[in-house]
Structure 1
C-alpha cells in the first residue's frame, strides 16, 4: 500500500513544516488515518534528522511488532534494516536501523542510560491517549532532556481519542488534526438476559452477527481468562470448516499474533477474540462487525497486596467509540455493545498516574535526579509520599530521598521495587530460584481455589508447595493447574533474567519463604502480641489480626504479603509466612534498637520514661526507668498533642478569637498570604511551632496560655500582627460612643468563615446609616440588634434597609414594653444612647 492511500498523507507536509519550526507537536488522527506507520517514514526525509534515529514509543508489544513490520514491508525490506523494534526480551535492530519502535520500559531505560540521546532526532509517543504511567514518565523525561540538553530534539504526541487542546497547552505545542478513513458504523446495544454471564451473552451476539452480517467479527474482552471461556463456548457452537476462531492478546507467541493480523488464507470467516490490544495501532483485515463487552483490564492500586494489579473496569466512551470504529475500516459495519444503552461511560480514560501505586515512578525520578518534571497530570502528593516511605524501607532511597546503590540495582532489574528488593536479597543461587518462585506467585492470581463450604488457607507456603507439587506432576485438587502452569513459566522467565542456573527446589522450610518475603514487605513484618496469639503489630506501627482458623496462629514473627485494611479495628492478615528471628536480626540489624524513650501515657495523663526495645515500629519490650529526661520531653509532649488533638492545649477565649480572625482574613483576603491555622495544618506543623514552647517542660499542663499564644503567633512579625488588628478589629466604637465586641468564627462543617457578629442594643445605633464592615471594607458585619433588655430583635447585614422597612414595626411593638427607652419616629436623626431616657421625659 502506498503512502498516498492513507488519509494522513495530505497532512504530512504540514507535519514536516511544523516540526521544522517548532520542536514539539500534538497530532490527532482517528483510527485508520495511518499516523502510526506513515509519520515515522515521512520524518526520514526531514533535514533536521541528519543521520539520527526516529524512536517511536508504542505501548503494546503486538502493536510494536506490527507497526515495524508494516513499515519495513512498505520499504521493501526486512524488519531490522531501516525499520526495527525493541521490546522486552526481543531485539530486531541493527546498525542500519533509522526507525526504532520501542515499548514503554525500553524508552525509559534509553533516557536514563543516555539522557543526551545524541543519536536520536525525534521521539514519537503513539496512542498517548492510553495514558500509561510509563508513557507519561517517558514524555516528562523527554521534555526535561529537550529543555536542558537537547533543544533540537523533536517530540510528537500522537493519538486518536486524545483531548488534543489540553495536551497542546500543556506542551506549548502546535496541534494538527488529520481526517480518518472509515465507513459508517451502525451502533446497537445487545441486551443481556436475566442473570446471564458475559461469555454467554458474547456467544449469542457472535452467532447473531455471523447470521445477520457479512465479514469477520472482532470481539473485545477484558483478558485471557474471558477469551478462553468464550473460545470454549464458540468452539462447541460454530462449524470450524467455515469459521475460524482466533485469539489476540499480548502473551501469544509471535507467530500466532502475526497470523491474526494477516488476511485469512483459506477464505474462512474469522471471529477474533481480543483484549484492548486490538483497540488501536493494529489493523485486522476483513472485520465488519465489532462486539464490545465494554470491559478492559487496567492497573489499579490494590492496598491488600501493596502492588498495582489489573482489575476489570468499564471502558471510557472514547475507547468505546474507537472500538466501534474498527468495524468501519473496509466498508460499512456494525457494532454491538453489551451494556445497557442507559449506562453512561466516563468521557476519557483516566491516567494511570492518578490511580496506581507510584514506587516505580519515584525510583525512576530519584535516578533521574529531579522530580520537578512537566507531567501532563501531576502525580498525587499522597501517593508520592507513600512511595517514598516504602522506598526508604526497601533501602532504595536514603533519608535525603537520594537513590542508593541498592536502589540503582533494583532499577536495573526492571520490576516493581518490592520484588526487586527481594530478588537482590538472596545469599546463593538456591535462594534466588526460590525468590523467583515467590515473585511469580506474588504477581499472579491466587492458584488455590476456595474449598466447598470453606475458605482458603492464609499460608503462602501452601501456594509454593502446590507449585512444587505441580512440577512433579501431582498438583493438589484445590489448586488451578492452569494458574500453576503460568506461575511456573513466569518463575522460569525470572530465573533466565537473573541468570540463575539453579533448579527450583522440591522443598523449603516455611521460614525461608518468609525470610525472603521480608525484603519485599519490610513494612508488613509483624510480631505476635504478648497476650493474644491472633494479634500482631506491624513494622509500620499498626495492628493486624489472623482469622480464627488461620494456619499461622502462634508464630512469633510473620510477614504479610496480603493485608486487608479495615475501616475500623485491626487489619486482616490474608496471606503471610513465618519469619526466622535470627535471619531478621542479621538481614535488618539497623531496624532493631534499644534506647531510652519518653512517651505520653494517656491513661495516666502524664509522660513516662522507658527503656524500649524495638524492631522498626514494633515494641518488643518496654521497662520503666523512672525520671523523665527533659531533652526528650518536648518531643513526647508534642506527640501527645498530635494524638490528643489541638483541643488538648490551653486555649483562652482571646486566643480562640485571634485564631478565628486570622483564618477568616486568610479566606477573605488571600492576597495577605496568611498562614493556615486550621486544625489539620497546626497538627501537621506541631514540631515547628509548638515543640519549642515545651522546652524544659515535663507536663502537658505546664504550658501556659500566654506561652501558647506566643507559640501560635511565632510566624507573625509585629507589622503583620498590627495589620491583622486593623483589618479584623475585636471591638468597634458605635454611635453611642461605647466600644462593643465583634465576634469571629469559622464553620468547620463547610470549611468557610462565618460573617463576624456585632451584638448591640438598637438604641446605640441611632443615626448610623450603613452596616459596619471589616477586612478593608470587603465583609459586612452581621448585626444582632438587641432590645433594652438584651433580647434579639433583628439579625441583619443591611442596617439601612432595617431602618426603612423593619424599624417602624419594631418601634410599635417595643415602645409599650420599654417605655423608659427612646423609640423615635426618625432613627436617622435621633441621638444614639446606651442609657434609658432621663426621668420626667
Structure 2
C-alpha cells in the first residue's frame, strides 16, 4: 500500500511529520490528535495490508480511546489507495478507462444516537460538512450522499442493504462497532459478512470490541480463503492500552430494595436521584466543569429520577433514552455550551458505550439494565429489569474517566456486583427470532445453517419463528424465502406486521395500513396503552418523533402500492370503520393477541392465545369489549390488573372486526365431555381461547365415545369406579398373572385401558349413549377376560375366602392390582387357628398366606406365614401378655390340642 507507507513501514507516532503523513482523503494526524488509539493505527494498517490485499481484523480497545473516530478514516485512506492503484493498473491496460469512484466505508453503531453522534464528531474533526464526506443513515433519517466516504448506520440498515445487494459491490470496508454488546442484528452481520468476504477478497472487514472477547470474534471473521491469513486462522487482533484516567469507586447501597414483584421500587429510584444530587454538588465544589451521568434501566425510571433531580438541583437535567426525540438525544450527548449550567444526564444503557458524553466526570449507577426476554409459556417477548453484567458496570464507570480523573458511585453493594453475570446475555438467546429467521431465509441460510454466528439460535425459538414464517407464506418447504418473504424482508417491520401491511391495505387503505404498521414498529410508547391516541399525536406532528414516523409511513406506503397487485388474499373482509382500522391491522399482524374483556374482572383481558393480561391503571381503553393488542409483556412494573402480564399498546375493535382479523382462529364445534358420571355436550363457537357462544346439545354416538375415551385416558378407570366385588376380582386376577403368567390376564390400569374393546365395549357404548356410571359394575366385564377352561380353577388358585380351624370363612385380602409385590393376607382371631400347623398356600402352592393373628379386640398380635413356628415359639410370650388382659378368652398352654374357637370360654 504505497500511499500509506513511509520508509518501508507505517509511522507509529501521531501526529507524524508532515512528510510521513499518509496521502488520502483524511488527515489522520489532525483527526487523531490526543486520541490513544492513534498509537495503534500503524499496527492496524500492517494487519489489514499484509500481502498487499484487503483483510480482516478485530480492534480491541477500551471506551474513550478513539477507535470509533480513527478506524473509519484509516480504512477510507486504505480504500482510496486501493482504488488509486487499481486505476493506475487499469490505465496501463486501457488508457482513459479508469473509474472515478471514491472510497466507501460503512460503520455500524448499535444505536441511532451513537450513529448520529459519531458522524457529527468525525465531520467536525475533519472540518467537513455533515452529510458530505461523512454522513449517517438511521431508520427514517439519512444525512449522506453519493460523495459520502464514511457512513455510520445502524445494524438494521446494513442488513437491509445486504439483502438487496449481497456483494456490497460499492462498499470497500465494513466496520462492526461494539460487537461485544451481542445485539441480534450485529451477530447476524458477523456471520453474513464473513460469507461475503469469501466471495469478495477485496472487502475489508473490521470488528471492534471494548471487552476482552476479541479472540472469539477474530475466529468468526477469520478468512477461509485469501485475505491476510491464508491458513484460515483467526483475524489479527489489534489492541490499544486504556485511555482512562484514575477512577475512584464509591459504594452507596440503598436501604430500600432495588427490585420487587412490580419492578424497580420508587424508594430505590429516589435513593439514586438523591445520591446523584449530593455527589454532583460535592464534585462541583471541587471542579465547576464536572457533569454527571446517571444510569437507570428504562425510560420510565429516567423520567422519575430526572423529575426528582429537577426539584433538588440547580443543574440542567437532561433525559437520554430511546423514546426521546433525535434532537433531545443529540443535545444530551453533546457537550456543555460555553458558560452553560452544569449538567446531569439521566440515561438508560444508551450511553453505556458507543459514544463519549463530553464533560462527564461523575457516574452514578443503579446497577440495573433492561434486557429482552421471551416468555415461551405465554408466547410473548418483552424487556425485563435485571442486574447489569459486571462488564456493563465497568463500561458505565469508565464514562467518568475518559477526559480526566473521575468518580463512580454505585448505588448497590460489592456483593451484588460480584454476583452479577460477567457479560450481558446475547440477544439471540432470549429474543423473538421471527425477523432474524426471515433474514436468514432470504440470505440462503435457513435457521442459521452453515453460518458462522457467535452463538447458534436456540432450536426451540428458531423453529417457532420459522413456523410463523410458514404461516405467513414467507418461507417455502425448503426453508428458503419465497417471493412474498423477500417482499416482507424489505419492509422495516416485524414480518407479521409486514404481512398485515400488505393484507390490510385492501381493507383500510394503503395510507392507514402504512401508518398503523409504522407506529407499531416504532419505539414510541402509547400513552395509557392507547395506540389510536399515539397515532393521532403523530399525525398532528406534535410528537418529536413525527418526522421519523412520517418517513417510515412514506416508505411503507410506497412498498405496499408497488406490491399490492402481487399479494394473494384468500378471502374478502367485511367493511371496517375508520375507528376500527388501526385495530384491524394490528389484529391481522397478531391474531393471537386479539383480546376480549373478562366479565367481572375489571381491566383484565383474555387473549386468543389463552393468556390473560391487564391494561395499565387509568388507561383510556378500559371499558372496550374487544382490543387488538400490539404489545404485551410480563408485568414488569406498574400495573397488570393482577394477571402477571400488561398490555403496553392496543387499539379497540368490535366483535365482527375481531373475528375478521383473526378469522383463521374461528372454530364452531361440538365439545363433548364426560363429567359427573355422564356424557354431556355443548356446541361451542370460539375465537382461539375466547368463548363466543356455548349451547347445550345432544352428542352423537361418536362424540360420546370420544368423550368417554378422553376421560378414561386422562383419569383412568376410576372415572367409572370399582365396586367392592370388581376390585376383589381384579386383585385375585392380578396375583395369578403375577405368579403364573399366561393365560391369566394382565389387569393393570395400563393393560386394561389398552384393550377396552376386549372387555368393556358394551358398557362404553352405553355410557356414550348417555348412561350413568352408577349403573355400570366392572365385575362382569372383568369376567370376560377370564381364560377358559383355566377360569374353572379360579376359586382353587385364588379363593375369595379361607376356612380356618374354627369353621369360620375369612376373606382373603389380595394385594393391590398395580403392585408388583405384596402378599395375600388373612386377618383372623388367634384363637380360631389353634392347632393349625400347615400354612395355606395359593396360586398352586407358590404364595403362602400371610396371617395377621388378632386379639379379641381385633388388634394385631402377630404377623406370620409360618404357623407351626409361631405356636412353638412366640405364642408363649403372647399368652403371657394377653391372658390377664382378656381373661374371658381361652389362652391354653398347649395351642396344639386346644379346640379352635371364635367364642369366649363361657360360651364354649
Report if aligned partners of 2:363, 2:409 keep a CA contact under 8 Å in 1: yes
What's the CA shift for 1:585?
6.8
Q: 1:130-178: per-residue Cα shift (whole Å, max 9, x none)? A: 111111122222122223x324333211111242233333444232221
Q: Does 1:169 align with 2:219?
A: yes
2:414 aligned residue (322, 336, 341): 341
- Of 11-20 and 617-626, more deviation after overlay is shown by 617-626
1:748 equivalent in structure 2? none
Q: Which has the larger radius of gyration?
A: 2
**Alpha-carbon distance in 2 for matches of 1:472, 1:24:** 48
**Alpha-carbon distance in 1 for matches of 2:632, 2:356:** 43
1:282 aligned residue (355, 366, 371): 355
1:17 equivalent in structure 2? 46
1:56-205 paired onto structure 2 within 5 Å: 56-147=107-198, 149-172=199-222, 173-174=234-235, 175-192=237-254, 195=267, 197=270, 198-205=272-279
1:217 aligned residue (291, 304, 308): 291
Q: 1:359-394: per-residue Cα shift (whole Å, max 9, x none)? A: 111122222232312210111112212223333444
Q: Structure 1 residues 182, 418: closer, same or farther in 2, change over 3 A?
A: same
**Alpha-carbon distance in 2 for matches of 1:271, 1:534:** 38
Q: 1:202-260: per-residue Cα shift (whole Å, max 9, x none)? A: 22332233235553222133344444444444444444xxx544444453444872575
2:463 equivalent in structure 1? 385
Q: Structure 1 residues 306, 414: closer, same or farther in 2, change over 3 A?
A: farther
Report if aligned partners of 2:493, 2:517 keep a CA contact under 8 Å in 1: no
1:411-422 paired onto structure 2 within 5 Å: 411-422=489-500
What's the CA shift for 1:546?
9.2
SS of corresponding position for 1:120: coil
Report if aligned partners of 2:176, 2:207 keep a CA contact under 8 Å in 1: yes
What's the CA shift for 1:341?
2.6
**Alpha-carbon distance in 1 for matches of 2:184, 2:425:** 11
Report if aligned partners of 1:49, 1:121 keep a CA contact under 8 Å in 2: no
2:72 equivalent in structure 1? 40
Q: Structure 1 residues 611, 165: closer, same or farther in 2, change over 3 A?
A: same
Q: Structure 2 length as normaliser, TM-score?
A: 0.57
**Alpha-carbon distance in 1 for matches of 2:713, 2:204:** 51
- Of 549-558 and 296-305, more deviation after overlay is shown by 549-558
Report if aligned partners of 1:216, 1:289 keep a CA contact under 8 Å in 2: yes
Gaps of 5+ in 2: 1-29, 84-101, 223-233, 257-266, 559-575, 636-641, 717-733, 735-752, 760-847, 849-908
2:440 equivalent in structure 1? 365
**Alpha-carbon distance in 2 for matches of 1:115, 1:56:** 17
SS of corresponding position for 1:97: coil
**Alpha-carbon distance in 2 for matches of 1:402, 1:444:** 33
**Alpha-carbon distance in 1 for matches of 2:548, 2:387:** 28
What's the CA shift for 1:275?
3.4
**Alpha-carbon distance in 2 for matches of 1:226, 1:552:** 24
SS of corresponding position for 2:414: coil
Report if aligned partners of 2:580, 2:654 keep a CA contact under 8 Å in 1: yes
Q: Does 1:296 align with 2:369?
A: yes
1:816-831 paired onto structure 2 within 5 Å: none
What's the CA shift for 1:322?
1.8
What's the CA shift for 1:312?
3.9
What's the CA shift for 1:466?
9.1
Q: Does 1:266 align with 2:345?
A: no
Report if aligned partners of 1:304, 1:563 keep a CA contact under 8 Å in 2: no
1:240-251 paired onto structure 2 within 5 Å: 243-249=315-321, 251=324
Q: 1:303-348: per-residue Cα shift (whole Å, max 9, x none)? A: 7996644444332211221222222223322221122232122211
Q: Structure 1 residues 539, 226: closer, same or farther in 2, change over 3 A?
A: closer
2:32 equivalent in structure 1? 3
**Alpha-carbon distance in 2 for matches of 1:573, 1:221:** 25
Q: Structure 1 residues 463, 299: closer, same or farther in 2, change over 3 A?
A: same
What's the CA shift for 1:124?
0.9
1:400-411 paired onto structure 2 within 5 Å: 401-411=479-489
Q: 1:569-605: per-residue Cα shift (whole Å, max 9, x none)? A: 999896877756665676667666889x9x9978799
What's the CA shift for 1:2?
4.5
SS of corresponding position for 2:275: helix
1:433 aligned residue (512, 537, 550): 512
SS of corresponding position for 1:101: strand
Q: 1:539-559: per-residue Cα shift (whole Å, max 9, x none)? A: 55x576999x99999999875
**Alpha-carbon distance in 1 for matches of 2:287, 2:673:** 76
Gaps of 5+ in 1: 449-459, 474-483, 501-506, 646-652, 654-697, 705-788, 790-841
What's the CA shift for 1:356?
1.5
**Alpha-carbon distance in 2 for matches of 1:393, 1:116:** 30
Q: Structure 1 residues 703, 261: closer, same or farther in 2, change over 3 A?
A: farther
1:787-802 paired onto structure 2 within 5 Å: none
SS of corresponding position for 2:386: strand
Report if aligned partners of 2:103, 2:149 keep a CA contact under 8 Å in 1: yes
What's the CA shift for 1:41?
1.5
1:504 equivalent in structure 2? none
**Alpha-carbon distance in 2 for matches of 1:347, 1:70:** 32
**Matched positions, count:** 628
SS of corresponding position for 1:179: coil
SS of corresponding position for 2:106: strand
1:447 equivalent in structure 2? 527
Report if aligned partners of 1:187, 1:335 keep a CA contact under 8 Å in 2: yes
Q: 1:797-835: per-residue Cα shift (whole Å, max 9, x none)? A: xxxxxxxxxxxxxxxxxxxxxxxxxxxxxxxxxxxxxxx
